[in-house]
A and B are shown apart, each in its own frame.
Chain A
Amino acid sequence: MAESIEHPGHAGGHDAPHDHEMSFWSKYIFSTDHKVIAMQYLFTGMAMGLIGGFFAYAFRMQLAFPGMEVPGWGMVSPADYNSLVTNHGTIMIFWVAMPVLIAAFGNFLIPLMIGCDDMVFPKINRLSFQIFFVSAIVLLSSFFVPGGAFGGAWTAYPPLSANPNYSLTPMGSSIWVVAVALEFIAFLLGGINFITTAMNARAPGMKLYDIPIVVWMIVVASILFMASVGPLIAGAIMLFMDQNIGTHFFDPAYGGDPILWQHLFWFFGHPEVYVVLLPAMGITAEIITVFARKKLFAYRTVLYTTFGTGVLSFTVWAHHQFIAGIDPRMAHVFTITTLLISIPIAEMCFVYVATLYGGSITFSTPMLWALAFIFEFLIGGVTGIFLGASGSDIYFHDTYFVLAHFHYTFFPIAIIGTFAGVTFWYPKMFGKMMNDTLGKLHFWGTVIPFNLIFIPLFVLGAAGQHRRIYNYEHFPELSAPWMQDLRQVATIALVVMLGMQLVFFYNFFASMFRGKAAGKNPWKSNTLEWTADSPPPHGNWPEGLPNVYRGPYEYSHPDRDDDYWPQNVPS
């Protein structure tokens, strides 16, 4: 191949004049540019996030004020309620956390941070987004088919999900399975791109320990996804066939086994938590080092705990199934592995806290989000121990305690982590600064209501409130007035939190036009993306791709007058 010779001016030189002739469609819709695809993922994820948030609003209103005509939705019937909670969960994990954290940040950051002009397979990258987009449409279409959307919980346990006579959503269940399977295929294609790009396309001089943590973590997350999703793809095929062509893989009446699905689902489902956690952890690492002006504490330890977490995450899945009818002796094994995995995660948190020591901390908006991530995730982490220990899980299984616990992990990951990343890289994405006052208003307006939603739900869970019940008045022990008060507190806090997102959207879009120009490196950061123009043109560095001379976290180095030392500056 003649063109395999490194030729820095090539990409920009050929493309820059070409850019002007591109139509809107080829520039923003069918582009192969990694940054455009990242924005497509980001905006699709945000739109789906609004839909998922609206679902949460509808069913929380029903819980706080049972039987009420919910403004914007209407009466929430039991069937509605089940579809809403099911699709809230499905959307928030597969169509918000995954596309934003892995795909949007992965696409935007990997080529820029490792100093190359694009992903190694730009067309596959575009195909990945297109499949993802179709999957989102397919999922949402299920709300408009006869019988309504699937309502068997995002875990889709058969026989409920496999048999329309039980679920009463003959089309909704199948559409759900197809949408999820398409989404997996999209992320497999994307993941192959991320992994090969990071492995092969690094800038000259960038050694393994010079790669920014967030790139490492997105790559490890992609590998985890790839290694765990296969069984669930197989399971989705089997479930689809059970629903539509009369096989009985999961139907005990004909020799099938419903527990099999649970294994296939959670073998993927638990690593999936780490698939979305790791990118958020990586984003946090980038931000706290910049705003504490500190070198990341024990870079290699962070990497080893990441790998350790990744490997261990394949051994813990059955802690979701302690009381699901598996052999009770298996619970011992999974209790031990689950408590083991708490160790690398705790260590990662300690590393982040230790990084703050000796720093010079500026509380900018991205830094506030990053710090909130550490603190809120800590709560999510420690409450998980109650559920990972078999003895206490007997009581907590399927209560609101579980629900509050995983919202204390997923909300910091998918919402706080995303806002941290968006506010931090916004100057690079759009070339403008966001308004800091509005940013802080939005921060406090999100984080305080978030805690007011889920702390009451911890209490309700401890008092035995079960999940996925649309109205508690049939259960005398769960319809005490103080419990209903707490439900209302949570719902009002949710409404406030959703309302505060308007501040973000205003700030996000208004700053594109009115924000002050950001310049190349507004945060005085070391990593390579800050050496490109803001926003970077097609090809990222038309003047020539950068070389790398050191690691990404050389802040406040004693030999330097500046308190930062960009990776591409020769010594």
Chain B
Amino acid sequence: MRPIANTRTAAGIPTARLAVWWVLASEIVIFGGVLASYLMQRMGNPDWAAEAAATNVWIGAFNTFVLLTSSLSAVLAHHAAEHEQDGKKAARLLGLTILGGGIFLCVKGFEWYTEISHGMTIQSHPFWSFYYTAAGIHASHVIAGMILMAFVAKDAAKGLELHRVELVGIYWHFVDVVWIFLFPLLYIAK
């Protein structure tokens, strides 16, 4: 049962959306902490570039493309839910986004498998420690986002809680943006 408090909007933004923004704010500082640590170490140790050279930019680029595409379907799902009130269509589009997340994770798994089998493990060098940690925390957000979207899509298909399509979309864009930071810092910077 929803308390009356939840229905008030003294700040002019729906409470749920406001909360999502605050969640993202706290996530930004978590990723900020990882990335700031990585950058401090990276700038202090130019020799890490040799390790970074072993990353596969093409796989990273492909994954960037996959994530951006999946964000597009999240935007379309939001549009379908808000302007067309079409829960079924929104659910289908969210399903597409989940598929994108799945492809991203499969590619990531293949990439990690290759790297680990070539001896580039999380223990082998601080660069790889950061590489797996940062991407691992990001991947856990991808998984969380996919699960959330599955629940939202299930409701949306029945026409329920359509406003949540937008909220989960905001979260997914955030996951996307984090990758946009990770990709150049981990893959491109040599």
Contact = CB atoms under 8 A, between A and B. Distances in A.
- Touch A–B, Cβ below 8 Å: yes
B3 A192 contact: no
Contact of A227 (B11, B25, B36, B126): B25
A222 to B, nearest CB: 9
Contacts of A111: 5
Contact of A230 (B8, B30, B125): B30
Interface stretch (B16-24, B69-77, B99-107, B169-177): B16-24
B43 to A, nearest CB: 12
A257 B28 CA distance: 23
Nearest to A10: B4
Interface in B21-75: 22-23, 25-34, 36-37, 40-41, 44-45
Contact of B33 (A11, A206, A231, A545): A231
Interface in A141-172: none
A196 B4 contact: no
Contacts of B36: 231
Given A234-B33, A246-B123, A14 B18 contact: no
A88 B141 CA distance: 34
A227 B29 contact: yes
A120 B19 contact: yes
Contacts of B4: 6-8, 10-11, 116-118, 201, 545
B143 interface: no
A238 B37 contact: yes
B129 A249 contact: yes
Given A192-B19, A230-B29, A116 B8 contact: yes
Interface in A191-217: 191-192, 195-197, 199-202, 206
Interface string A1-31: 1011111101100100000000000000000
Contacts of B137: 234, 237
A230 B28 contact: yes
A228 interface: yes
A255 B1 CA distance: 54
Interface residues of B, number: 42
Contacts of B123: 245-248
Nearest to A197: B5
Contacts of B40: 257, 260, 263
A235 interface: yes
B33 A121 contact: no
Interface residues of A, number: 56
Contacts of A255: 45, 125-126
A234 B34 contact: yes
Contact of A248 (B8, B32, B129): B129
With a 10 A CB-CB cut-off, give which of A3, A7, A8, A228 has the most chain B CB atoms.
A3
A248 B126 contact: yes
Contacts of A237: 133, 137
A490 B16 CA distance: 51
B11 A200 contact: yes
B132 to A, nearest CB: 8
A459 interface: no
Main secondary structure of the interface of A (DSSP, over half): helix
Main secondary structure of the interface of B (DSSP, over half): helix
Contacts of A226: 22, 25-26, 29
A333 to B, nearest CB: 16
Given A14-B1, A228-B29, A230-B29, A199 B18 contact: yes
Contact of A249 (B9, B29, B44, B126): B126
A188 B151 CA distance: 23
A121 B8 contact: no
A241 B123 CA distance: 10
B117 interface: no
Contacts of B28: 230
Contact of A233 (B1, B19, B30): B30
A231 B122 contact: no
A238 B130 CA distance: 9
B33 A235 contact: yes
A223 B130 CA distance: 28
B7 A1 contact: yes
A243 to B, nearest CB: 13
Contacts of B11: 199-200
A119 B8 CA distance: 11
B30 A6 contact: no
B189 interface: no
Contacts of B41: 256-257, 260
B37 A234 contact: yes
A120 B25 CA distance: 18
A232 interface: yes
A359 interface: no
Closest 7 CB pairs of A and B: A230-B29, A231-B33, A234-B33, A201-B5, A118-B3, A116-B5, A230-B30
8 contacts: A4-B7, A11-B4, A199-B11, A202-B10, A227-B26, A228-B29, A230-B28, A248-B126
Given A191-B26, A227-B29, 14 more contacts: A199-B11, A200-B5, A226-B25, A233-B30, A234-B37, A235-B37, A237-B133, A241-B129, A245-B122, A245-B123, A247-B123, A247-B133, A254-B126, A257-B40
